[in-house]
Amino acid sequence: MRLQLVALLAAVAGVGVSIYLTAVHIAGIPPACPANAAINCEQVLSSAYGVVAGSAVPTSAAGILWFAVSAVLAAIVRLGHSAPVWSRLQLAWSAIGLVTVLFLVYLEIVRLGVVCVWCSVAHALVLLIFLIALPRQLEGRVDA
């Protein structure tokens, strides 16, 4: 349950980071971020991948939604809803987030050649939430 509190805090932090990235995207101002050969937040956020494909919606706006749902799931599990469905839902949701993160990291490294620090913070939070959701599904699992 203590880990679920960590997941809840991570999700809230993720909402904050995503709101910041969405705000700077909409305002058209560069985020506070160093710029060099490997790191360039503005380059990433202003690229074609900075918006959800086929729309003007910033990718970070999807992050707000994902982290908000993650926060709700962590709160439900934290509050003692021990029904396995909630834990499984949390794991499935965080797995979706993790797969999305891997795709975004692929775009940053392979397609753009630069990394956005703020995005990486959000990615790390997704990974943390996934890792917290993971053990609950393995509790009690034994080798036959």
Partner 1 sequence: MSRQPMSKHSRPMRKPVSRTPAWVPPVAVVAAIALVVAGFLLVRWYTTPQAAPPLTPNAAQLVVNSLAGLPAAELDSIGQGSASNLIKPVSGTPLTGPSGKPLVFYFGAEYCPYCGAERWPIIVALSRFGTFSGLATTSSSSTDIYPNTPTFTFHGSTFTSQYIDFQAVETTDRNQNLLETPTAAQQALVNQYDTSGSIPFVDLGNRFAFAGAMYLPDVLAGMSWEAVAGSLSQPDTTQAKAVIGSANLITAAVCRMTSDQPSSVCTSASIQAIEKKLG
Q: Does 85 bind partner 1 (CB under 8 A)?
A: no
Q: Does 1 bind partner 1 (CB under 8 A)?
A: no
Q: Specify which residues 130 forms β-bridges with.
A: none
Residue 137, number of CB atoms within 10 A of its CB = 14
SS (H, E, C) 87-120: HHHHHHHHHHHHHHHHHHHHHHHHHHCCECHHHH
Q: Does 40 bind partner 1 (CB under 8 A)?
A: yes
Instruction: Among 13, 96, 112, 117, indicate the residue that binds partner 1 (CB under 8 A).
Output: 112
Q: Does 106 bind partner 1 (CB under 8 A)?
A: yes
Tell me which H or E stretch contains 18.
helix 2-27
Q: Residue 51 has what DSSP assignment?
A: B
**Residue closer to partner 1 (CB basis): 7 or 61:** 7
Which tokens is 127 given?
Answer: 């990974």
Tell me the backbone φ, ψ of residue 66, rounded to 5 degrees.
-65, -45
Residues numbered 86 to 105 that lie near partner 1 (CB under 8 A) are 98, 102, 105
**Residue closer to partner 1 (CB basis): 76 or 134:** 134
CB 24 to partner 1: min, Å: 15
In the complex, the residues that contact partner 1 under the rule CB under 8 A are 37, 40, 43, 98, 102, 105-106, 109-110, 112-114, 127, 130-131, 134-135, 138, 141-144
